[in-house]
Amino acid sequence: MAVIHPFRALRPAPERAADVSSVPYDVVSTEEARQLTAGNPLSFLRVTRSEVDLPEATDPYSAAVYEKARDNFAALRRTAPLIVDGQPSVYLYRLRIGDHEQTGVAGCFSLDEYDSGVIKKHERTRRDKEDDRTRHIVELRAQTGVVFLVFKQTRTLARLIDAATGRPPLYDFRADDGVSHALWRIGDESTAFVDAFKELRALYIADGHHRAASAARARTELARGEPASEANTFIAVAFPDDRVQILPYNRLVKDLGGHTSEGFLDRLRARLPVKEGGPAPLRKGQVSMYAGGAWYSIDLSSAAPADASRAASLDVALLQHHVLEPLLNVGDIRTDKRIDFVGGARGTVALKRAVDTGQAAVAFSMFPVTSDDLMSISDEGGIMPPKSTWFEPKLRDGLLVHLI
């Protein structure tokens, strides 16, 4: 049984929502954050990436950065202003881009259920990234990063969401990247959503493993054994599995591991079927590759996985096992500086450009995994290969904050 907790969100006044909201802190570099905040004193990136308001040489993990985040947060609460809802509520958050639309339920979720496995993980986390967001939470006494959850759709939740989104939203604006964001507050009717979540066997972390792990660590410092403490929960938006959009997470490798282009292709053809192809694979078991000014199609359908797990049968795992490691000497993709990753939202043009300009020697365009892959692997207790999924569109930071 999954539990959702209504909470009193800290959020922007409606007329300031578009100015305050920002891209997630972890999808931009410091330099990109500086560019995005230029001319916008209300950008929430000044809270989540507060080094933008410090000298360029500042270590982003120095004490000064967290102190600045705390100061900027307090100032933003006054000047935006940010308001706290008077009644604990759940919220609906709709994302829309082009023909795609998805609406999720926002609230607070149990860290005890995160620990026990009702809220399931599929990704390992890095200690340094946890350290950063844990300190950020503790310094601000707030969770500013929203976790992206997925649940198996139910008729009850579908009906509740449809009914509630027929009303005027609190916010409805289009961000600079073309994504529209709308938010509804469900106050007196929150109980219906709480009851509907009890029908769910599990929730799945889609994006935000570090945010959830950091909230769990911050609880140790802040909860102090109080059963009702806000620090025992974390903020998230849970979306139905049949509405989320997963794009591929593509690969760039900077060199060919000492091989010439011809030599690499010969070795690849000796292992797998390769033919001329297009920039995007058409099905699972197919990978598009760009090298030497041409696109090729690699057939992985007959490639044996490293083990019997579902995670090992994913295309990203097969590519790693049969191509990246044995032919290009890319071992641990978490640490190897020769490999880079490109979210599917940037398209295959970005892959071609990187190779044509010499930033990489070869690019791999992947077919996206499915939400069923993610949930099945999580149910197995498995771990997906790093950089397997790119969820698009992204939630914005700053629209819902959980004070603890």
Q: What is the DSSP string of 280-312?
A: S--STTEEEEEETTEEEEEE-TTPPPSSSSTGG
The token pair that represents 201 in the structure block: 């066997």
Residues of the chain with pLDDT under 50: none
- The 3-class secondary structure across 322-343, one letter per residue, is HHHHHHHCCCCCCCCCCEEEEE
Residue range 31-57, pLDDT digits in tens: 999 999 999 999 999 999 999 999 999
- C-alpha 108/C-alpha 358 separation (Å) is 46
Task: Give me the residue label for tokens 């071609």.
Answer: 352
Where in the chain are the domains? 4-246+392-403, 249-367
What is the structure's pLDDT at 223? 64
Tell me, what's the pLDDT at 344? 86
Structure-block tokens of residue 255: 């060199």
- Upstream peptide bond of 12 is cis (omega within 30 degrees of 0): no
> What CATH architecture applies to the domain 249-367?
2-Layer Sandwich (3.30)
**Which of 269, 286, 300 has the alpha carbon at shortest distance from 366?**
286
- At 346 the pLDDT is 85
Quote the pLDDT of residue 354. 97
Identify whether the C-beta of residue 133 lies closer than 8 Å to the C-beta of residue 145: yes
Do 139 and 69 form a contact (C-beta atoms < 8 A)?
yes
